[in-house]
Amino acid sequence: MFEFTEEQMAVRDMARDFAQKKVAPLADELDKKARYPEELVREMSDLKLMGMCVEEEYGGAGMDMVSYVLALEEVSEACASTGVIMSVNNSLACEPIKRWATVEQKKKFLVPLATGEKLGCYCLTEPEAGSDAAAQKTRAVKKGASFLLTGTKQFITNGYEADLAIVYAVTDPSKGKKGITAFIVDTKTPGFKIAKKERKLGIRGSSCVQISLDQVEVPAENILGVEGEGLKVALSTLEVGRIGIAAQANGIGAASLACSLKYAKEREQFGKPIADLQAIQFMLADMATRLEAARLLTYRAAALKQQGLRTPLESSQAKLFASEMCMKNAWAAVQIHGGYGYIEDYIPERLFRDAKICEIYEGTSEVQRLVIASTVLAQSA
Amino acid sequence: MNFSLTEEEKSIQDWARKLSQEIVAPLAVRHSQQKLSTDYLKTISSQGLMTLLVPEAMGGMGLSAVSFALVMKEISKVCGSTGVSLAVSNMIADILVREGSPYQQEKFLQPLIRGETLTASFCLTENSSGSDASALKSRAVKKGKGYELSGEKIYVTNGAFSQFFVVMARTSDEPGSKGVSAFLISRDSKGVTMGKEEDKMGLTGSSTIRMSFENVFVPEENRIGAEGDGFKIAMRALDGGRISVSSQALGIAEASLEFGVRYAKEREAFGKPIADFQAIQWKIADSATLLAAAELLVLQAAYLKDHQKPLTLAASQAKVFATEAAIRVCDEMIQVLGGYGYIREYPVERFYRDVRVTALYEGTSEIQRKVIARELLK
């Protein structure tokens, strides 16, 4: 019940080894320079970390979702920016194509994404459609065998480097939520422009851009799923995406605990290590307990998703709890480090900034609570 | 990783639900006002609920720790007082299975299995030794082929119903935990006096008494383990006890949440059900998430116990998280019910009072955090 398979442990160990040896030494520089870690993404591709749950015939690693969250936690523990780059490609680019695409589309788009030859991004959010994702304004107008996409997409992670984008647009404004369609778009298509590169509080090593679409021509065969059923694609994708963000949050939470344990044993005040003081011990105890609870919620969601089940409740519970856990743990890490926690020479300063995003993207904590409450209320007789 | 219950676990859960509805529920309100009755405890005992973890070969139910946790939750969901009575009896039975001699199993465990003693009790806490358990003062002095034991014990759960007690007492002058031994003492031994029944905030149906022991003769064969092993025996028992108290807390909180959710859908304010307000939805979402996380921690600890894996960290994490989550949920559901949450006509008032003690007994939250920190800093 609560044991990993040998394969899952092997994947975790491999990811840990890579994360500690290759990713961790770069984390500080990526953050300070807001630099995209191209070399790490290449190595992650070689290690098959960019399309972990994609079938081998489509270039992926053919692994299960628990292995994926274990690996993602390890990478995120070393560097949350690298973690989100991996998460977006796996959860938001590969997963919807794996789930909804035709065989032809998979051959054309999934293979390069899963092998890491190409990088994916996910264009759902708009300047005026955040939590209310269905309020899409981007239009897709039919023209012959193609659609012309026009609109603005906001907060697109990986957007600066991405080769392929999953883009949501309104194909039939008269049908409201049922008039939204998902497209697979080549970012080199004329009219697809990076309008602005955002400067962020944290996860500065990953890009976040505003994209403007001006009459971007997308062939009709690039529709992902069924025309008008884009919201269905979006919601099922977010169920996986939220598990990914939960894993990323677990990584940040684990990093917060690890540096705090180390520091508490070394740092002396009042003639003894601060780890001997209950005020510090209790913070450490709560960090570890919350982290363990968050991990179990994440593994549960991943294990159920692996069985092919819908997991709105489990994904949202994992995402909500894990992201709030990592914020609390990062807060505690800064507090335990005292003044040193506030300066850039020590890891907690970065963790504190990185943690916050987990409560916001792929559905704010408020959206998760909406999903959870509506599910619980619906289940009650 | 696989979070589904096995077929066997599901059938045990169903069995516990059925018993809860048929036996426990009809008397739950009464047992929130007066002590569990002897007849009721006989029925509970006859279903094997007091010796769930005892192997079938010895006459018990032979449940795994995971199944045990599931049963504890279901029973406690309907009546927390019955839950704690089960928790302590099963913990004593577990001690006797693990640490007891064949003689002790025959003389004490078998009567518990057969229902000749309805419950069993644990005497560890004293007036001046609670969290600092190893500071206990009760003494057992060697005399002939046994000991003479004297001391005062408090917070003895099931005291009114138990025919025997596991009593911790000091057998040497070594300070701290090393000089403590564990003894089995029958209720009818000379020198045993049953003291005052405590008047508690909640769990009114369960018995919590003081006891005094005055030169009680305890034959050597009634000592569990070797001299000086008592504290270790107690701590091993508490690892398991923490799982059952966590399950008890989960059961009470789940009952509270279910009631709150039903109420929120029915109660109207400002022209619509209060469940339509985000203020209420948030309480429901947070409560459901906390309980989901807590249950996973509890089941994980039980799973580790079943597989003889190191348990201390997981059991303490489960205990502190589950009990504090449960208390918060029970508090939030009072808020959902508003004034109706504060009056005894509605059960959430009882759940709130019943659940509070779970963060106190079997090691306070503070002790759990101490244990967790110690394990982390090793």
Per-residue pLDDT of B278-325, as tens digits, reads: 999 999 999 999 999 999 999 999 999 999 999 999 999 999 999 999
> From B367, which residue of chain A is nearest by alpha-carbon distance?
A282
CB A131 within 8 A of CB A124: no
Mean pLDDT of chain A: 97
> From A264, which residue of chain B is nearest by alpha-carbon distance?
B377
Mean pLDDT of chain B: 97
Residues A381 and A376: their CA atoms lie apart, in Å, by 10
Burial class of B38 by CB neighbour count within 10 A (0 to 12, 13 to 18, 19+) = exposed
pLDDT tops 90 at residue B1:
no
Grade residue B69 by pLDDT with cuts at 50, 70 and 90: very high
> A293 vs B293: CB contact, 8 Å cut-off?
yes
CB-facing half-sphere around the CA of A60: CA atoms within 13 A:
26
pLDDT tops 80 at residue B174:
yes
Nearest to A2 among B1, B264, B317 (CB): B1
pLDDT in tens, B187-217: 999 999 999 999 999 999 999 999 999 999 9
pLDDT in tens, A300-334: 999 999 999 999 999 999 999 999 999 999 999 99
Q: What is the pLDDT of residue B207?
A: 98
- Closest CA of chain B from A261, distance in Å: 7
pLDDT in tens, B102-139: 999 999 999 999 999 999 999 999 999 999 988 999 99
CB A173 within 8 A of CB A179: yes
Q: Give the residue with greater pLDDT, A380 vs B220.
A: B220
pLDDT in tens, A52-77: 999 999 999 999 999 999 999 999 99
DSSP string for residues in A264-295: HHH-EETTEEGGGSHHHHHHHHHHHHHHHHHH
Grade residue A350 by pLDDT with cuts at 50, 70 and 90: very high
From B28, B10, B34, select the one nearest B76 (Cα to Cα). B28
Residue A340 contacts B, CB cutoff 8 Å: no
Residues A141 and A150: their CA atoms lie apart, in Å, by 8
Residues 6 or more apart in contact with residue A220 via CB below 8 angstroms: A142, A145, A146, A147
> A372 vs B264: CB contact, 8 Å cut-off?
no
Mean pLDDT of B58-64: 97
Mean pLDDT of B254-270: 98
Q: What is the pLDDT of residue A228?
A: 97
> A380 vs B258: CB contact, 8 Å cut-off?
yes
Cβ atoms within 10 Å, residue A352: 24
> From A324, which residue of chain B is nearest by alpha-carbon distance?
B286
> A1 vs B370: CB contact, 8 Å cut-off?
no
In the structure encoding, which two tokens stand for residue B193, read together? 């006096």
Residues A250 and A252: their CA atoms lie apart, in Å, by 5
Q: What is the pLDDT of residue B239?
A: 87
> From B273, which residue of chain A is nearest by alpha-carbon distance?
A377
Q: What is the pLDDT of residue B325?
A: 98
Q: What is the pLDDT of residue B217?
A: 98
pLDDT in tens, A258-303: 999 999 999 999 999 999 999 999 999 999 999 999 999 999 999 9
- Closest CA of chain B from A50, distance in Å: 22
pLDDT tops 80 at residue A381:
no
Grade residue A129 by pLDDT with cuts at 50, 70 and 90: very high
Chain A interface test: which of B7, B336, B376 (most A C-beta within 10 Å)? B376
- A-chain CB neighbours of B292 within 8 Å are 297, 300, 314, 317
Q: What is the pLDDT of residue A67?
A: 98
pLDDT in tens, A156-215: 999 999 999 999 999 999 999 999 999 999 999 999 999 999 999 999 999 999 999 999
Helix (H, G, I), strand (E, B) or coil at A217: strand
Q: Helices B365-377 and A230-266: crossing angle, nearest 10°?
A: 80
Helix (H, G, I), strand (E, B) or coil at A54: coil
Grade residue B176 by pLDDT with cuts at 50, 70 and 90: confident
Q: Which of residues 279-298 of A touch B (CB under 8 A)?
A: 281-282, 284-286, 288-290, 292-294, 296-297
Residue A370 contacts B, CB cutoff 8 Å: yes
Number of A–B residue contacts, CB under 8 Å = 127
Q: What is the pLDDT of residue A234?
A: 96
Residues A93 and A87: their CA atoms lie apart, in Å, by 9
